[in-house]
Amino acid sequence: MSLRVIKICIVSPLFHPSIGGPGRQALVMVRKLSTKGINVMVISRRLSGVKNEVENIEVYRVPTFRPYVYNLSEFTIQNFIISISFAFGTMVKLLKLRKRYEIVHFYGASLPLLFCLPILKILGKKVVAKTTGGKGGKEAGGLEDFFLKPLLVSIFKLTDRLIAINNDIQQRLLNEGFLEERVVKIPNGVDTGIFSQLTGLKREELKNKVSLSGENVFLYSGRLVKGKGLELLLKAMVDVVKFNKDVMLVLIGDGELENRLKDMVRVLMLGNFVRFDGLVENVHEYLNASDIFIFPSLSEGMPNSLLEAMACGLPVIASKIGGVVDVVEDGKSGILVEPGDISGLSTAMIRLLKDAELRQRLGAEARRRIVEGFSIDRIADEYIKLYEGL
């Protein structure tokens, strides 16, 4: 590592331990970079209804339109206005703090990057942007047939490095015309110290703590929003319950689909088999109290919740999509099903219920896979190497 202190400003619309995958990933990365001697500060949205302070991290909160809205993944007028307000506030903060950083790292290659990039280049700053490849023109790597693609690509090309979190996004960036030497693949990382496997008495204590003892527990962790395949999961549970009634599906997280999903549970008569535990900060405890992790999402970059579950040694069932296939080796470190396949999902769930040896083998391999390739320590070193090379 270089002897000079690298000064980084992270720009992330969300920066919270339990809200949004990119925001959680940014928080974990900032903490790890700080332990490795990097001088880091953060610009993020000021949210309502949650704690905005983050211990031992310098965070500048930007007020935005509708601070109670956390999910900006869908392209709506409301989300567009929120993003514009955050982009403008971020630009003002970056100008005020311009002597405090040399590199700006954006979590997302969208409106905030588009607004701030020309000014940052005039200031002589280096710019890195991590993209999750949000489709429909929302981000670099997801511009495809978007009518403003030529203009956006010409501006985004000012970015010194674009970070793709999986192979698919990396290829899409290249297809959009970004230079190969400026596109780098760095996956998400997970703290394998916090997210680690517990066994025996400690695990039983956790199961009692979160009231999950005596059942075969399927766990989903993430937002309760469109595109996560949760309606399909509930339909699959109908078949699972017919096979074994000693099961419980626990959903942790919140979102606009929560009430609709609860209605589905009533209609499908799954009230005794599905729990909604809301937004929690002790995700690692829930993982260790569960038996099988389910991730039926229809589209993802590289889901943090999947990495966390695998790090805890849980056998996982996930959709064969995006960054999931970069992490899960089908039949070795998890089971992959076609997205939207209700029958395939229920079959995989029943298969793991019936085969304890398979659960143990998949879980052990999942843990090994994450420790060797996706630990936050290793990923942070990749970022430091990138920063030093700018």
Summarised one tens digit per residue, pLDDT across range 192-201 is 999 999 888 8
Verify that 140 and 182 share a domain, yes or no.
Answer: yes
Say if CB 318 and CB 295 are below 8 A apart. Answer: yes
Verify that 379 and 347 share a domain, yes or no.
Answer: no
Verify that 209 and 223 share a domain, yes or no.
Answer: yes
Segment 232-262, tens digit of pLDDT: 999 999 999 999 999 999 999 988 899 999 9
Give the domain extent around 238. Answer: 200-373
Verify that 104 and 221 share a domain, yes or no.
Answer: no
Q: What is the pTM of this model?
A: 0.91
- Please report the pLDDT score of residue 134 as a whole number: 67
From CA 18, how far away is CA 283, in angstroms rounded? 8
> What confidence category does residue 80 fall into, taking pLDDT thresholds of 50, 70 and 90?
confident
The number of folded domains in the chain is 2
Verify that 348 and 360 share a domain, yes or no.
Answer: yes
Q: Look over the chain and give the mean of its residue pLDDT values, rounded to a whole number.
A: 92
Q: How far is CA 327 from CA 366, 371, 376, in A?
A: 9, 12, 15
Verify that 145 and 280 share a domain, yes or no.
Answer: no
Is position 183 within any domain? yes
Is position 137 within any domain? yes
Is position 134 within any domain? yes
CATH number (domain holding residue 75): 3.40.50.2000
Is position 121 within any domain? yes
Verify that 279 and 341 share a domain, yes or no.
Answer: yes
Verify that 136 and 211 share a domain, yes or no.
Answer: no
Closest CA to 177 of 194, 207, 157: 157
Mean predicted confidence (pLDDT) in 37-63 = 89
Is position 322 within any domain? yes
Is position 2 within any domain? no
Q: How far is CA 269 from CA 5, 102, 237, 241, 263, in A?
A: 59, 57, 10, 10, 10
Percentage of the chain beyond pLDDT 90 is: 74
Verify that 349 and 367 share a domain, yes or no.
Answer: yes
Is position 1 within any domain? no
Verify that 52 and 155 share a domain, yes or no.
Answer: yes
Segment 118-157, tens digit of pLDDT: 999 999 999 999 998 666 557 888 888 787 888 889 999 9
Helix or strand (DSSP H, E) at 371: helix 356-373
Segment 311-342, tens digit of pLDDT: 999 999 999 998 899 999 999 999 999 999 99
Helix (H, G, I), strand (E, B) or coil at 83: helix
Verify that 355 and 232 share a domain, yes or no.
Answer: yes
> What confidence category does residue 87 fall into, taking pLDDT thresholds of 50, 70 and 90?
very high
From CA 49, how far away is CA 19, in angstroms rounded? 12
Is position 67 within any domain? yes
Verify that 181 and 275 share a domain, yes or no.
Answer: no
